Chain A
Amino acid sequence: MRRLSLSDIAKPQLLALAFILVLNWMVFPGFFNVTWQDGRLFGSLIDVINRGAPVAILAIGMTAIIATRGVDLSVGAVMAVAGAVAATSAVAGQPLIVTLAGALLVGLACGLWNGSLVAFLGIQPFVATLVLMVAGRGVAQLITEGSIVTFSDPALIFVGTGSVLGLPMPAVIALILMIAAHLVMRRTAIGLFVEAIGTNLSAANYTGLRARTVILGLYAFGGCCAALAGVIAAADIRGADANNAGLWLELDAILAVVIGGTSLLGGRFSIPMSVLGAVIIQAMNTGILVSGLPPEFNLIVKASVIILILVMQSDRVAEVVSRRFGRMTTRGK
């Protein structure tokens, strides 16, 4: 592992997060206050990582998919399906392990469905996952029979609201998943495979890479991540709401991945940076809430952030900038 240099710390995402946090602190002076109460930490900062965890988990699964020039639009619907499965299983009195396994298996099945449409039928990822995005909520409502299934299983509720070493459980799960996924990507050849497929699919095929299997696996992993996020979201409100669970979160997840610097044109990705992207989004959400602005501003702020990132990532803008500051960048290299 190379040493941390100044340029690693001064990444634009970290600067953006710092900027947003300072902005939040200016509109709400108590933003950085963290207190210890009833064996856990409390405060706006803790709230940011707690609330940001589901999107962070979705973003972990989405990163590698986007790195292969794909996208998974169905994660919100899969969250609803997994939440519905977990809730009905908990109501039926199953132990936590069965509930979790059931939800994750359903997520895996959804991911395999998406993955086989993309990898084996060659359907555009955008379209392939649209099918499940449309039908998934219907399936979730089928499972919950149209009502909101509430449960009181303490083990399942702990997944959404419990705490470990004072940190909220969802954040702990997201952190463990992030480290595990990052190690699998960077300590094995899988990350290289993903980048090869994203850069040039035919070239990857000609080098003997089993691109289809890798893509199938990535979508399956994405489905599992969505299921995990769905269980957390359901456990958090102690019920499965087929209509609203994970609504619009697919967009937040894509946004988190893009903020994290993963290229939509494939070939370059970083899972920890995507998680950072999710934290940035949640910091904005919380900031708008604590500042007293109506939550509707959230959408406009998110849209502006997307536009800002698009302008920054654009080749043409980069050309103009490098022409003007050309000497500085060449000297830097």
Chain B
Amino acid sequence: MNPRYRPLAATTIIFVIAYAICISQYPSMWSTRVLGNFLTDNAFLGIAAVGATFVIISGGIDLSVGAVVGLAGVLVAVLVSQLGVHPVAAFVIVLAISAAFGASMGAAIHFLRVPPFIVTLAGMFMARGLASILTQDSIPIDHDVYRAISGLYYRLPGGGRLSAIGLLMLFVFLVGGIIAHKTRFGSYVYALGGNPTSAALMGVPVARTTIGIYALASFLGGLAGIVYSLYTSSGYPLAAVGMELDAIAAVVIGGTLLTGGYGFIFGTLIGVMLQGLVQTYIVFDGTLSSWWTKIAIGLLLFMFILLQKLVFSAQGRGPRLKRAPA
């Protein structure tokens, strides 16, 4: 097997083993109902995590994505419920605003040469603040289009429901995978994460790519916000607080290297599913409290960071020995 697929294989095997253990304890977890709910319940997280994967492969980080989800949800709710805009038009407006928001963060990162986590931290404050100024309460969305989309699903054998937003997440993963692995933009992202200086020397348009990466991440954050508003039929400024950490955890668990230059979009899907598995297990168990989710995800995160360290320090040992002076 190609060694570069090893971390991806490790994640997949761990997911399969974990799922097998869950099924051995609760046989009813092996059903299309549970699988369908996995996709529906984690759709917004998955969509945002695709954006986070691009950012992390490029060697950056985006802390603003949870706040963008909240802002997008509130914007949609205000546009649809208070201003009477048609939901489809509202979606277009919100996606355009989100992408512009991300592009300006990317521009700040590139032109001011500041660490991405500070810029996106400011972006997070900004987006949450704007959302809270628009409204402080949850705004319900009641519209025919919303009811139609929420009612759309494909019935799987065994009674499971593959909902529209679940399918949308899978579609985003597919498109994300194609962009990352088959397009020129995707190669630029990997090149930037590998080494920005040599990327620039090779002729990668660093400014355009950086702006594009953060615009894409916020665009997907906006899409995740729309999905979240479909999922809850409302917009709430404090929605998805702390979701950026879940997204980063999913990316890391999916085998993407936090130093950049290496990673797979598909791995992130496994990372999201593994987090969903932890939550579902806790629901099935019934006696465990919800705070075990946080501890379990923290432990998973730690395990995978350690794994990355071991795998990549083993790979890097050869050249390091050569470089050491006698």
Contact = CB atoms under 8 A, between A and B. Distances in A.
Nearest to B237: A296
Contacts of B114: 264, 310, 313-314
Given A124-B259, A131-B305, A258 B118 contact: yes
A144 to B, nearest CB: 9
A303 B122 contact: yes
Interface in B68-118: 108, 111-115, 117-118
A138 B294 contact: yes
Interface residues of B, number: 43
A307 interface: yes
A254 B291 contact: no
A92 interface: no
B302 A131 contact: yes
A53 B302 CA distance: 32
B112 A137 contact: no
A101 interface: no
B159 interface: no
B298 A134 contact: yes
Nearest to B133: A296
A158 B121 CA distance: 35
A298 B132 CA distance: 10
B306 A121 contact: yes
A135 B301 CA distance: 10
Nearest to A144: B291
B288 to A, nearest CB: 11
A105 interface: no
Contacts of A254: 118, 121
B309 A122 contact: yes
A264 B115 contact: yes
A174 B170 CA distance: 51
Nearest to B128: A299
A187 interface: no
A315 interface: yes
Given A264-B114, A296-B133, A299-B129, A133 B245 contact: yes
A219 to B, nearest CB: 16
A304 B121 CA distance: 11
A130 B301 contact: yes
Given A134-B249, A314-B114, A141 B126 contact: no
A134 B291 CA distance: 10
A124 B115 CA distance: 14
Interface in A309-326: 310-311, 313-317
Contact of B113 (A71, A128, A314): A314
B295 interface: yes
Contacts of B118: 254, 258, 264, 306, 310
Contacts of A124: 258-259
Contacts of A122: 309, 313
What range describes how many residues of A lie at the interface? 35 or more
A138 B294 CA distance: 5
Interface in A140-193: 141-142, 146
Nearest to A69: B115
B121 A130 contact: no
Given A124-B259, A130-B248, A294 B289 contact: no
Nearest to B291: A141
A316 B111 contact: yes
Contacts of A135: 294-295, 297-299, 301-302
Contact of A142 (B117, B125, B258, B295): B295
A287 to B, nearest CB: 16
A317 B289 CA distance: 51
Contacts of A258: 118
B121 A315 contact: no
A282 to B, nearest CB: 16
B85 to A, nearest CB: 24
B249 A138 contact: no
Nearest to A294: B133
Contact of B123 (A71, A133, A303): A303
A254 B114 CA distance: 14
A132 B299 CA distance: 9
A251 interface: yes
A305 to B, nearest CB: 9
A210 B306 CA distance: 23
Given A297-B129, A300-B129, A310-B119, 8 more contacts: A124-B259, A130-B245, A264-B115, A300-B126, A303-B125, A303-B129, A310-B108, A310-B122
Identify the 9 closest CB pairs spanning chains A and B, nearest first: A135-B298, A138-B294, A299-B129, A296-B132, A141-B291, A300-B129, A303-B125, A138-B295, A306-B122
25 contacts: A123-B305, A124-B259, A126-B61, A127-B252, A127-B258, A128-B305, A130-B301, A131-B298, A131-B302, A134-B297, A135-B295, A135-B297, A138-B293, A294-B132, A294-B136, A296-B133, A299-B128, A299-B132, A300-B125, A302-B122, A303-B125, A310-B108, A310-B114, A314-B112, A316-B113
